[in-house]
Structure 1
C-alpha cells in the first residue's frame, strides 16, 4: 500500500489552530487523512442487509451515525452513507463493501481526499459553532451520534457530535474550503482567548 505524501489541507494553519484553542474551554485541531468512503445503496434490500452484516452495524437512519467496530458510518442522504476510519483503511473498506454489494446496484467510492476533519471540543464548542451555524446544537436536539449537512461560516460541511461527557464535534469540510474555515475559527474564537471574561 502506498503511503500518503504531501501536506494535509490545514498544514499551513496548524499553528493558528493551536493558538486559537483555549485550554479548558475550546480545543480546535485537524484530524487529517482519515479514510472516507461513500456508499450508495438502496436502504431496503438484500445488498443493504449484507452491507450491515459486513460492517457489523445497521446502516444509520436520517440525521444519525453508527459505530461499526473501528469505523463510523454517517447518514448522508436517503441512499447514501459515508464510512469513516483511520488513515489507510480505504482499500480494505472499499473491497469489503464491493463484496457486500455482490453485483447489485450501488456504488462505493474512495473520497478520502475530498474532505478533511476539524475537531472542535470543549465546554464552549456548541456556543462557538453556533456563531456560524444555525443548527440547534443543544444535546437535547443534537445529541451524541447526531450528524447533519449544514453551513458553517458560509461553508458546506457535515457536522457530527461524538460520544463523550465533554462536547466533541467533527466538522467534515471540503479540502478547498478548509483554510477559510480555519481562519474563521481563529476570528470567532478570539473572545475566548487570554484575558477574555467567560461568563
Structure 2
C-alpha cells in the first residue's frame, strides 16, 4: 500500500508482440519439412532507400560499400549474408537485416549515402514496423502459393535471387525466393499478417494432410 502511495510500484512488463505471433503454435503444428512449413520471421530491421535519379551512381556505390553487396537489378535481391537489398522500383530499395535494429541500420546507411559529398543523395527511412516477414519452405511451397498467386513461379522464370511485388490471396506482398528448396519469404503489411497466415495455413492442408 505504501509503495502505491509513494509511486514506487513497478510497471508491468510489456512483452513485444509480432503481427502473427498469436498464430505461432498453429504454424508449428501444420505441415512438415517433407512437405511445406510456415513460420513468421519477426522484428527484422527494414529500411527503405530511395535514391535521387541524378545521384544514383554515387548512392549505389556508397550504399553498396556499407551493405557489403551491390544494389540489385530490377526483379532481384542481393546479399549472401546480412543485410540484403531488395529491388522495389526504379531508385527504390528495401534493406533488410536480422542482426541490426531499424534505428541503427537507418543511421548507418544514411551516413554512408549522405556523407561523401556533404549532401544527402538519397532518402533513408526506417519502415521496420510496417511489415512482418513470413517464411514458407519445402517441396510443396510453390504449390501452396499457386492457390492464390497468378505469378509464374516455375523455376525457369522465378528462382533464387528473384524478388517482386505481387498479389497473394488479394493481399499485396513482397515475394523473395531464397533458395531452390524452395524457400520463400513474404513481406506483408502488419495489418494483413493475420489474414494471410490463416489463408496460407488453410492452403497448406491439401499438401500436408495424411491420406
Scaled by the length of structure 1, what TM-score is found? Answer: 0.90
- Would you tell me which structure has more helix in proportion to its own residues? 2
**Which residue pairs with 1:65 in the alignment?**
77
- TM-align CA RMSD: 1.7
| Mapped contact 2:149–2:166 kept (Cα < 8 A) | yes
Whichever of the two has the greater Rg, that structure is: 2
**Which residue pairs with 2:44 in the alignment?**
34
Count of equivalent residues: 192
CA distance in 2, matches of 1:172, 1:56: 22
**Which residue pairs with 2:208 in the alignment?**
193
**Which residue pairs with 2:199 in the alignment?**
184
Aligned residue runs from structure 1 range 2-81, under 5 A: 5-42=15-52, 44-67=56-79, 69-81=81-93
Offset of 1:5 from its aligned partner? Answer: 4.4
User: Which contiguous aligned blocks of 4+ residues in structure 1 show a shift greater than 3 angstroms?
Assistant: none
Scaled by the length of structure 2, what TM-score is found? Answer: 0.85
| Mapped contact 1:22–1:192 kept (Cα < 8 A) | no
* SS in structure 1 of the partner of residue 29 of structure 2: helix
Question: More displaced, 116-125 or 88-97?
Answer: 88-97
Structure 1, unpaired ranges of 5+: none
Structure 1 residues 84-135: Cα deviation after superposition (integer angstroms, max 9, x where no partner): 0115432332122111222223211111111111100000011111111111
Of the three residues 132, 135, 141, the one matched with 1:125 is 141
**Which residue pairs with 2:150 in the alignment?**
134
**Which residue pairs with 1:93 in the alignment?**
105
